[in-house]
Amino acid sequence: MKYNFDQVICRLGTDCEKWDDRKNQFGVEDVTPMWVADMDFQSPNPVIEALRQRAEHGVFGYGLRSDSYFESIVNWLNRRHQWSVKKEWITHSPGVIPALSLSIQSFTKQGDKIMIQPPVYHHFARVIQAAGREVVTNPLVLKNGHYSIDFDDLEAKIDEKVKMFILCSPHNPVGRVWSKDELTRLGQICRKHKILVVADEIHCDFVYHTHTHIPFASISEEFANHSITCIAPSKTFNLMGVQTSSIIIPNRQLRDRFNQELHTLSIGSPNIFGAVALEAAYRYGEEWLDQVLDYLQGNLEYSLSYFRKNIPEINVIQPEGTYLVWLDCRDLRFSDKELNDFMLQSARVAMNQGQIFGKEGEGFMRLNIACPRSMLQNALSGIENAVTLCKAH
């Protein structure tokens, strides 16, 4: 089946955060929304059909997760990422961020420290602070358009109160796909200091040519036994609204503690539509994913070329994974508020402001390229016109 990702699908009036919440989020509605990380593409046809058939049954009582549900996850990880996962390792969460909250509550106590690597997904710091834990930052280092881990800084900031490390892999927003050497060195440091690694790998299925996502827990049995991996079909197949994630915990003691927290909060039961969507996506969505990856590769190449030729004042950090592009706008010499106002009022494009990902993101913007090419062209043209007009004045 050939999918048409050039098709523009109207999402207005569908209670869509990305489109219907623009006035609330940005104060304006007449802007191209290139912000929140979902795609403006329909999910795979087999997923839509599976949901339709389930809806037509008409009875939506309590559900369970079948053997075939678990098999679909195991087979997907083995096929796409060469990671052999056992069914009993898999537990659940309504989403990856809820899983981070559950992990923090299960494996740390108030006053403990948790390390993150800014500029990084802004909800990491939020859930840590909301739980009464302390955020410790190990900022990524940007050099010659490439981000890397500062391992010396990482070790220097570890003390007896650092109990957890939240790894973003692939990294949102800078787009790094961590190498095996980087992950191994990180894992060795965390094991040495008895720090639990919680890996947010929700973007694992979006990796560009020449790069390979390596699940942290797949590197060694030792890493697997001292880590928690969070995945979901949500980013991969544009299924955020079905609220279904898979949490992989090979260590039984850790898994039992996590499940006890699920039980305490009474949130372990499945959303029946989420279960149907997950299984259909992992079983039958691969053809769609391969096509969307090709389309996103085209969107990325188009974006890189466009900025290079027409908007050289904005430096693009070329992503190795995710469908998010990190824009270095510091040469425009705006304050963060001025930069946001400029993009909204002059370019008419709504993006995520860089500083929400940490102070290391000041002067940056995050652009979502998971949309029809015409929408991307419209957004980049708006940015180009605004920059050109700004220079003229």
Give per-residue pLDDT as tens, 130-178.
999 999 999 999 999 999 999 999 999 999 999 999 999 999 999 999 9
Higher pLDDT, 391 or 175: 175
Instruction: Sheet containing 352-353: give its strands across.
Output: 315-317, 324-328, 364-368, 352-353
Q: What's the pLDDT at 43?
A: 98
Q: What's the pLDDT at 392?
A: 76
Mean pLDDT confidence for 27-39: 96
Mean pLDDT confidence for 91-120: 97
| Cα separation, 5 vs 363, whole angstroms | 31
Percent of the chain with pLDDT over 90: 98
Q: What's the pLDDT at 9?
A: 97
| Cα separation, 100 vs 103, whole angstroms | 5
**Which tokens is 81 given?**
């990422």
pTM: 0.97
Dmax (CA) for the chain in angstroms is 64
Per-residue CA distances from 335 to 140, 174, 385 (Å): 22, 20, 20
**Which tokens is 306 given?**
């466009």
Is the bond into 173 cis (omega within 30 degrees of 0)?
Answer: yes
Give per-residue pLDDT as tens, 293-324.
999 999 999 999 999 999 999 999 999 999 99
Are 211 and 320 within 8 A, CB to CB? yes
Q: What's the pLDDT at 1?
A: 81
Q: What's the pLDDT at 301?
A: 98
Give per-residue pLDDT as tens, 62-98.
999 999 999 999 999 999 999 999 999 999 999 999 9
Are 107 and 128 within 8 A, CB to CB? no
Single out the residue of 337, 356, 340 nearest to residue 348, CA to CA. Answer: 340
Strands 196-200 and 227-231 come out as parallel
Mean pLDDT confidence for 278-302: 98
Give per-residue pLDDT as tens, 210-247.
999 999 999 999 999 999 999 999 999 999 999 999 99
Are 118 and 250 within 8 A, CB to CB? no
Percent of the chain with pLDDT over 70: 100
Confidence of residue 393 (pLDDT cuts 50, 70, 90): confident
Mean pLDDT confidence for 272-282: 98
30 SS3 class: coil
- Cβ-based neighbours of 272, under 8 Å, separated by 6 or more: 54, 60, 63
Mean pLDDT confidence for 111-132: 98
Please check the confidence at residue 333 and state whether its pLDDT lies above 90.
yes
Are 278 and 73 within 8 A, CB to CB? yes
Are 177 and 212 within 8 A, CB to CB? yes
Per-residue CA distances from 357 to 121, 173, 206, 353 (Å): 6, 8, 20, 8
168 SS3 class: strand
Which helix (DSSP H) or strand (DSSP E) does residue 45 occupy? helix 45-57
Give per-residue pLDDT as tens, 181-217.
999 999 999 999 999 999 999 999 999 989 999 999 9
